[in-house]
Amino acid sequence: MSEGGNVQTTGILKRLESLIAIALARASSSTPGAVGEVQEIRFPIGTGAAQNSGTAPPNGAIVTDAELDIGIAYSPGASIQVGIAGTPALLMGAGDNVPQAPGPLYAVHQDTPWTALGPVLVSVAGAPVAGSGFCILRYVQTPQL
């Protein structure tokens, strides 16, 4: 290999190291929930009557979308709501999805202030013996003005 090739390779490696350092610095300094940043909570759901996300949007966030992605059809008679304890249909009512029909993404676009202090709750009624999917919630912690 010629000396010019070594210089070129060295220059490429130094540039790559520089880009990696910049990316790492940005990743470590980024503030979750920066102004206008959309965040997502995604968690699997099954046949349990009450399933929660384990995490919650921060108080004051604005929920923009609640979605159900049904992967395996739920048993006949099952219905699903998405909300919080005490208001199980706050984000998506039973009429907004068909858990027996997997495939389409059931979505409710909204502008709902999050004032709950608890996690997202998925309520499954009808005691299904089959069915699974994902609940997806998108929110903005600090809306851009």
Cα-based angle 132, 136, 139 (whole degrees, multiple of 5) = 165
Query: What's the pLDDT at 28?
Result: 47
State whether 26 and 43 are in the same domain: no
Q: What is the mean pLDDT of residues 73-98?
A: 97
State whether 77 and 108 are in the same domain: yes
pLDDT tier at 18, thresholds 50, 70, 90: low
Residue 92 has pLDDT above 50, yes or no: yes
In this structure, is residue 119 part of a structural domain?
yes
State whether 65 and 11 are in the same domain: no
State whether 92 and 42 are in the same domain: yes
State whether 14 and 73 are in the same domain: no
State whether 46 and 23 are in the same domain: no
pTM of full prediction above 0.95? no
Q: What is the mean pLDDT of residues 55-61?
A: 92
Three-state DSSP state, 124: strand
Extract the tokens encoding 31: 């503030």
Domain coverage including residue 121: 38-140
- Is pLDDT larger for residue 11 or for residue 2? 11
Q: How far apart are CA 52 and CA 89, in angstroms?
A: 13
Q: How far apart are CA 79 and CA 73, in angstroms?
A: 11
pLDDT tier at 24, thresholds 50, 70, 90: low
In this structure, is residue 145 part of a structural domain?
no
Q: Which of 59, 58, 78 is nearest to 68 (CA)?
A: 78
State whether 70 and 128 are in the same domain: yes
Q: Which of 115, 116, 120, 118 is nearest to 134 (CA)?
A: 120
